[in-house]
Each structure stands twice: as structure tokens, then as C-alpha cells.
């Protein structure tokens, strides 16, 4: 099946969204039990951890951790926003730079000014979008970023989106409460799919869509450790308590170039495999044997693949033992934590 299809459904009682590209599961979002990224709290500063350069906070959903804190006294109240999912037993990661993000618009209270995505090159289109932004934002002191999917979008839809985010920002930032409180819920999978999967796609909302469009079969693979590589071979992806171990296996290919081919296939496949499985943190790849002269080309292939992925990933480089290491933001819920 060619093309892009967004399937909105439920699995095991949880809201979920799947992005199928040419019949293959390209992305998957599922609701978890932890507060989702984007949730905004009024939190209370609890105790500073100088060795970690941060402070633990009290929120209605339990402890949170804010990095790089200066001048924040225990007992002080502040607004924070969830940035990702915590490892089991650890505090939820938060930031004090709160954003209000939707499909077309991001309102940035601490960064004033009207900005257009650099991905929009056409000057006439940029002028059109700036006119819309000026009309809705008026004399607001908040900043605004118009996202790249605004290109060609209906002016009323963009204006409505800006207005909704501006109203939410004003409500949250001017809330008069004096105790820790949840001020805004993070978006669920169906809203996230509408917000972030903006390329043209067919949208399926009927119950049973996951079964009819092959999502359940794809999830059976994603819930295991083996991920097939194009051209043969497999990746074996095994989360441990400390890190995620990835082993590149050449399969039945015994040619001299088998290792190089499998490693380049890994570079192409790994971002999607991690994204669908909801995996982040420290990742160590045990590459298949290949000449050292091919390492630079492989690094370039990995960099290009993860840049297109959209989830913040740092390529740390090669270890003395010949492994390749990554650090990836924990922006998704691991499937193993929510699906039996």
C-alpha cells in the first residue's frame, strides 16, 4: 500500500495513533500513565542537588527535576513544563521555559517577537503569514513562531490556532493560584498526530483501524527485539537498565561487503525502529565488522537519518572497542511499559 495513512484508534484501552508510510509503520504514539510532555505545572521548589546542577520540585503528579537552576530558593513557586518521560523510579524532567504549541503556532512567552519557520523560503508567503500573526497577536508581549506547515494553509485556520495558543498562554501565566497545580494537560496521541504529522495523509478514525491497516502486525515486530534490515540481516534491540544495546547482524550474507552493507542498512532503519518502540536514553551499537575506512561514511549516514527523525539525538561517536554510541531524548513511552 503506497502513500501515507494516519490511523487513530485504541489498543488495550489506551488511545493511540499510528503513521503508516507505504504500508510500513513509521511512527506510533500511545497514551501512558505518566504525565505527557507539554503538561504545565505550578510547582514548588523542594531541594537543590548541587552535584547534578538542578533542583527537585513538588508537583501534583509527584517529584519533578529541573536542571541548571540558579537563585531558586526552596519553597518558591514557579511554572514548569514536562519535557519527556522519566526512567522508572526517577523524577519527571521539566523546564522553566514554557511553550504553547499547536499545529501551526508556537507561543513563546519568554522569547518575544514574531518568527516564521526558516523552512518557509517564499517571501510572499512569509509576508502573508506575518500579516496574520500581527493581526492576531496585536500588542501582546509574548513571542510567536509559525511552523513550516503554515505554507498554503487557510488564513482562518492559522489565525484560530494562534488565538487558541495565545489565550491558553494568558490563562496559564496569569493563574492566581498559590499551591502546586496542573495548569495545562499535555496533548494525547490523537492531538499529537494532528499537530505533528502534517504531511498530506489519509486519516482513518473508525474503530478497528489498527487491525485493518496492518498496525497490529507491525506492533508485534516492534514489541520484540528483532528488527529486519532491508537486504537481509537484522538489528537486535535490547533495552537494559543502563542503556539500549543494538546488535547489527548480517544474516545469511557472507560476502566481504556484508558488514558494511548491514551497517549502512542499520543507519537507515534504526531511527524508525527506536521511534516506534518509544526508546531513548543511552544507546550503544555493536556494528558488524567492516573496514575502518568506511566509518566516516557511516557516521554521515547516521547523522542524516537521525536529523530527519525529529527526536533530539546526539551522536557521541566510536568507543575504543569499536561500538558506536548515541544519546537520545526520552520523548516517547517505551512500548514495553504500556503494552502487555
Task: Output the DSSP codes for 87-151.
Answer: PTTSPEEEESS--EE-SSEEEETTS-EEEE-TT---HHHHHHHHHHHHHHHTT-SSEEEE-GGGT
Has residue 177 got a pLDDT over 90?
yes
pLDDT of 318 reads 96
Q: CA separation (Å) from 116 to 109, 120, 167, 192?
A: 16, 7, 20, 21
Share above pLDDT 90 across residues of the chain, in percent, rounded to a whole number: 88
Rg of the chain over Cα atoms, rounded to whole angstroms, equals 22
CA distance from start to end of the chain:
28
Length of the chain: 340
Which distant-in-sequence residues (6+ apart) come within 8 Å of 61 by Cβ?
34, 35, 39, 41, 92, 182
78 touches 96 (CB < 8 A): yes
Confidence of residue 1 (pLDDT cuts 50, 70, 90): low
- What's the CA gap between 232 and 240, in Å, rounded? 26
Packed helices 295-309 and 258-277: angle between N→C axes, nearest 10 degrees: 20
* DSSP conformational letter for 299: H
Q: CA separation (Å) from 59 to 48, 288, 335?
A: 15, 46, 26
Has residue 150 got a pLDDT over 80?
yes
Find how far residue 19's CA is from the centre of its chain: 14
pLDDT of 87 reads 81
Has residue 156 got a pLDDT over 80?
yes
Torsion angle in degrees (nearest 10) through CA of 159, 160, 161, 162: 50
At 219 the three-state DSSP class reads helix
32 touches 85 (CB < 8 A): yes
Q: Which of 47-51, 201-205, 228-232 has the lowest mean pLDDT?
A: 47-51
- What's the CA gap between 93 and 77, in Å, rounded? 17
Q: Nine-digit cell at 261?
A: 552493507
Share above pLDDT 70 across residues of the chain, in percent, rounded to a whole number: 99
Please report, for the chain, how many H helices and E strands are present, in that order: 8, 20
Has residue 50 got a pLDDT over 80?
no
DSSP letter string over 16-43?
A: EEEEEETTEEEEEEE--SSPPTT-EEEE
Average pLDDT of the chain to the nearest whole number: 95
Give the tens place of pLDDT for each residue, 5-20: 999 999 999 999 999 9
Give the tens place of pLDDT for each residue, 303-328: 999 999 989 999 999 999 999 999 99
Query: What count of Cα atoms within 13 Å lies in the side-chain half-sphere of residue 195?
Result: 16
Which one, of 317, 326, 332, 321, lies nearest residue 29 by Cα?
332
Give the tens place of pLDDT for each residue, 70-120: 778 899 999 999 999 988 788 999 999 999 999 999 999 999 999 999 999
User: In which residue are the cell numbers 526512567 written?
Assistant: 87
pLDDT of 231 reads 83
195 touches 101 (CB < 8 A): yes
pLDDT of 106 reads 98
pLDDT of 70 reads 79
Amino acid at each position: 500500500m503506497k502513500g501515507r495513512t494516519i490511523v487513530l484508534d485504541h489498543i488495550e484501552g489506551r488511545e493511540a495513533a499510528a503513521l503508516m508510510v507505504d504500508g510500513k509503520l513509521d511512527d506510533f504514539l500511545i497514551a501512558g500513565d505518566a504525565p505527557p510532555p507539554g503538561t504545565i505545572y505550578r510547582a514548588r521548589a523542594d531541594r537543590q542537588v548541587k552535584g547534578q546542577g538542578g533542583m527537585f520540585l513538588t508537583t501534583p503528579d509527584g517529584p519533578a527535576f529541573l536542571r541548571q537552576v540558579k537563585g531558586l530558593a526552596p519553597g518558591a513557586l514557579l511554572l514548569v513544563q514536562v519535557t519527556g518521560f522519566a526512567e522508572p523510579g526517577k523524577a519527571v524532567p521539566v523546564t522553566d521555559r514554557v511553550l504553547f504549541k499547536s499545529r501551526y503556532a508556537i507561543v513563546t512567552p519568554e522569547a518575544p517577537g514574531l518568527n516564521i519557520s526558516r523552512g518557509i523560503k517564499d517571501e510572499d508567503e512569509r509576508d502573508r503569514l506575518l500579516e496574520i500573526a500581527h493581526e492576531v497577536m496585536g500588542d501582546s508581549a509574548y513571542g510567536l513562531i509559525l511552523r513550516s506547515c503554515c505554507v498554503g494553509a487557510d488564513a482562518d485556520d492559522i489565525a484560530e490556532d494562534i488565538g487558541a495558543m495565545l489565550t491558553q498562554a494568558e490563562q496559564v501565566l496569569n493563574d492566581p493560584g498559590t499551591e502546586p497545580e496542573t495548569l495545562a494537560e499535555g496533548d494525547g496521541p490523537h492531538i499529537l498526530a494532528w499537530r505533528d504529522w502534517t504531511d498530506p495523509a489519509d486519516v482513518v478514525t473508525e474503530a478497528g483501524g489498527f487491525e485493518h491497516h496492518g498496525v497490529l502486525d507491525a506492533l508485534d515486530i516492534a514489541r520484540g527485539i528483532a528488527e529486519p534490515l532491508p537486504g537481509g540481516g537484522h538489528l537486535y534491540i535490547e533495552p537494559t537498565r543502563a542503556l539500549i544495546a543494538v546488535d547489527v547482524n548480517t544474516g545469511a550474507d557472507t560476502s566481504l561487503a556484508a558488514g558494511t552493507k548491514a551497517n549502512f542498512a542499520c543507519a537507515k532503519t534504526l531511527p524508525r525502529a527506536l521511534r516506534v518502540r518509544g526508546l531513548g536514553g543511552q544507546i550503544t551499537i555493536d556494528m558488524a565488522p567492516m573496514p575502518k575506512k568506511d566509518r566516516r561514511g557511516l557516521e554521515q549516514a547516521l547523522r542524516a537519518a537521525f536529523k530527519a527523525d525529529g527526536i533530539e539525538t546526539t551522536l557521541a561517536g566510536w568507543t575504543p572497542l569499536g561500538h558506536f554510541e548515541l544519546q537520545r531524548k526520552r520523548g516517547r513511552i517505551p512500548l514495553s511499559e504500556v503494552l502487555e
